[in-house]
Amino acid sequence: MISSEHQRTFLERVQTRTARLGIIGLGYVGLPLAVVFAEAGFHVVGIDLDTRKVAALTHGESYIEDIPTARLAPLTHAGRLVATSDFAALRECDAVSICVPTPLRKTGDPDISFIIAATEQIAHYLHPGMLVVLESTTYPGTTTEVILPRLSAHEAALRVGEDFFLCFSPERVDPGRTDWTTVNTPKVMGGVTPQCLQAGLALYGAALQTVVPVSSTEAAEMTKLLENTFRAVNIGMANEMLLMCERLGLDAWEVIEAAATKPFGFMKFTPGPGLGGHCIPIDPLYLSWKLRTLNYRAQFIELASEINTAMPRYWARKVQDALNEVSKAIKGSHVLVLGVAYKKDISDMRESPALDIIHLLQQQGALVSYHDPYVPSFHYERIVMECVADLDAALTSADCVVVATDHSAYDWAAIGRQARLVVDTRRVVRKPALGG
Ligand SMILES: NC(=O)c1ccc[n+]([C@@H]2O[C@H](COP(=O)([O-])OP(=O)(O)OC[C@H]3O[C@@H](n4cnc5c(N)ncnc54)[C@H](O)[C@@H]3O)[C@@H](O)[C@H]2O)c1
């Protein structure tokens, strides 16, 4: 099925590990990918606009928890992985993967400006035999409607599928996870043409254990959105289960644990403080936006988003109610928030619901402090805070302790003994017991 000399050369260079790979965006997704390709024997050039990241990598220092410096340094010292802010490095690359952010605009619409900026840089250096792979999560159609026309407009003489190759392959990395990593998590790949797919499968198959082909870039884009919408909707349902159980005088966690004993047909999701991270709160909105352009309302996504975004307010009210029970006003009470990262055992605070809870409590006059073993200090909009130095003292002196993130480092039994009042969004201090 080899369609051209360019494709043959590309496949040969992959096979002999002489192919050079560029990775644009060296964050949570791009850096682990760069390391994995370098470890597989390829020469990797990481390109990032953030000069601090480039400087750190040039010194062999990692800033991503999943990539220890001890793993990175030998690759950078051997020149197998180099970092730069200069896109001219793409001139020498046989392939380039785009791993830039895809946030939302203030209006809630997709912001694909980072993808466009990266594509325009690639277009300058597009050359025969080059493979371009988009990894950033985005709405179905981005690869063919946004990237392909920009590449083709720049180099009209180069035909996709013959002279250059274009694929979409969604990233599934779950930061902090050690059992499923970049190498062993199956990777879905769609190509603009069968030849594009073949090139994508060859390159990624040389570094990753399993690459799963799908029929188009749109199918690959939609696969990622299905995965994250599945999570957002199920978390939304677990959160609504909490609200419904409360009305019925039931313990939602007990009910969920009991349902989870069913060995088939049920997957456990638990209530919590709300959605966090760069993916689950955002990605489904890329899909609902795209569907709106086609006059279709994505009802599950909208409902889940509504329920999940209301959770920080629910928990702030729980703090108020708990203080009220002991005849205290929220105004002037000392509230200690445990965990500000969006999920356990990492430092990432993007979209963390803990920030909304802190903001809501402060708005009501609470004197809020926080502790997080991974976050020494933070600055978020108008909130500037430093982690309390003495956790034990903070626990015993707080009028109320809010568990926002269930980091494994915490001793929940001890926290339960020390705290006067606990509002536990993760249900870790007093775990639900079946039959109790
Ligand atoms: N973080 C995750 O867990 C995760 C998981 C799966 C998918 N994704 C998706 O992967 C993509 C990247 O996410 P991330 O978490 O790695 O983001 P990140 O913010 O950690 O990293 C993105 C990097 O891209 C750089 N960058 C931005 N614009 C650039 C440009 N024009 N040229 C070069 N560099 C540029 C930034 O400086 C930053 O270092 C997003 O689409 C995200 O939705 C993320």
Task: Say yes or no: 276 and 185 in one domain.
Answer: no
How far apart, in whole angstroms, are the C-alpha atoms of residue 42 and residue 349?
33
Question: Dihedral (C-alpha) 203, 207, 213, 215: value to the nearest 10 degrees?
Answer: -30
Indicate the top mutation candidate among 48, 100, 138 to test ligand 1's pocket, ranked by most ligand atoms within 8 A of CB.
Answer: 100
The identity of residue 184, as a single letter, is: N
In the prediction, which pLDDT does 1 show? Answer: 67
Q: Which of 196, 215, 234 is the last residue of a domain?
A: 215
Ligand 1, closest atom to CA 53? 39
Candidates 311, 318, 373; CA nearest to 341 is 373
Is-above-0.85 flag for pTM? yes
Task: Say yes or no: 33 and 147 in one domain.
Answer: yes
Task: Say yes or no: 354 and 385 in one domain.
Answer: yes
Catalytic residue list contains 279: yes
Task: Say yes or no: 124 and 202 in one domain.
Answer: yes
- Backbone φ and ψ for 395, nearest 5 degrees, come out as -65, -45
Task: Say yes or no: 284 and 328 in one domain.
Answer: no
Triad 101, 271, 425: Cα angle to 5°? 95
Count how many Cα atoms sit within 13 Å of the Cα of residue 226 in the half-sphere of its side chain. Answer: 7
Task: Say yes or no: 90 and 135 in one domain.
Answer: yes
Count of domains observed in the chain: 3
Task: Say yes or no: 302 and 314 in one domain.
Answer: no
In the prediction, which pLDDT does 106 show? Answer: 84
Ligand 1, atom 35: closest residue by C-alpha: 25
- Backbone φ and ψ for 38, nearest 5 degrees, come out as -65, -40
Which phi-psi region, left, alpha or beta, contains residue 339 (left: φ > 0; alpha: ψ -120 to 50)? left
The identity of residue 412, as a single letter, is: W
Q: Residue 130 pLDDT more than 70?
A: yes
What mean pLDDT comes out for the span 104-114? 93
- Tell me, in angstroms, the distance from the centre of ligand 1 to residue 24's CA: 9
Lookup: tokens for 401: 């302790």
Q: What is the pLDDT of residues 33-54, one digit of tens each?
A: 999 999 999 999 999 999 999 9
Mean residue pLDDT across the chain: 96
Q: What is the pLDDT of residues 145-200, one digit of tens each?
A: 999 999 998 767 899 999 999 999 999 988 888 999 999 999 999 999 999 999 99
Q: What is the pLDDT of residues 276-335, one digit of tens each?
A: 998 999 999 999 999 999 999 999 999 999 999 999 999 999 999 999 999 999 999 999
Candidates 5, 350, 410, 18; CA nearest to 206 is 18
- Backbone φ and ψ for 166, nearest 5 degrees, come out as -140, 130
Task: Say yes or no: 261 and 201 in one domain.
Answer: no
- We report the CATH number of the domain holding residue 305 as 1.10.1040.10
DSSP string computed for 356-371: HHHHHHHHTT-EEEEE
- Tell me, in angstroms, the distance from the centre of ligand 1 to residue 80's CA: 22
Kindly list the protein residues whose Cβ atom lies closer than 6 A to any atom of ligand 1.
Answer: 24-30, 47-50, 53, 99-102, 114, 117-118, 136-137, 171-173, 175, 278-279
In the prediction, which pLDDT does 436 show? Answer: 55
- Backbone φ and ψ for 93, nearest 5 degrees, come out as -90, 140
Q: Which of 164, 188, 215 is the last residue of a domain?
A: 215
Q: Residue 416 pLDDT more than 80?
A: yes
Selecting among 99, 167, 196, 279, the annotated active-site residue is 279
Residues constituting the chain: 436
Task: Say yes or no: 285 and 228 in one domain.
Answer: yes
Lookup: tokens for 215: 């029929």
pLDDT band of residue 434 (cuts 50, 70, 90) is: confident
Candidates 101, 90, 172; CA nearest to 132 is 90
In this prediction, what percent of the chain has a pLDDT beyond 90?
Answer: 92
- Tell me, in angstroms, the distance from the centre of ligand 1 to residue 165's CA: 22
Task: Say yes or no: 210 and 76 in one domain.
Answer: yes
Task: Say yes or no: 173 and 265 in one domain.
Answer: no
Q: Which of 294, 309, 324 is the last residue of a domain?
A: 309
- Tell me, in angstroms, the distance from the centre of ligand 1 to residue 253's CA: 34
In the prediction, which pLDDT does 54 show? Answer: 98
Task: Say yes or no: 282 and 430 in one domain.
Answer: no
Indicate the top mutation candidate among 84, 99, 350 to test ligand 1's pocket, ranked by most ligand atoms within 8 A of CB.
Answer: 99
Ligand 1, atom 7: closest residue by C-alpha: 171
Q: Residue 435 pLDDT more than 70?
A: no
State the residue range of the domain holding 385. 310-436
Q: Residue 382 pLDDT more than 90?
A: no
Q: Residue 425 pLDDT more than 60?
A: yes
- We report the CATH number of the domain holding residue 102 as 3.40.50.720
- Tell me, in angstroms, the distance from the centre of ligand 1 to residue 295's CA: 30
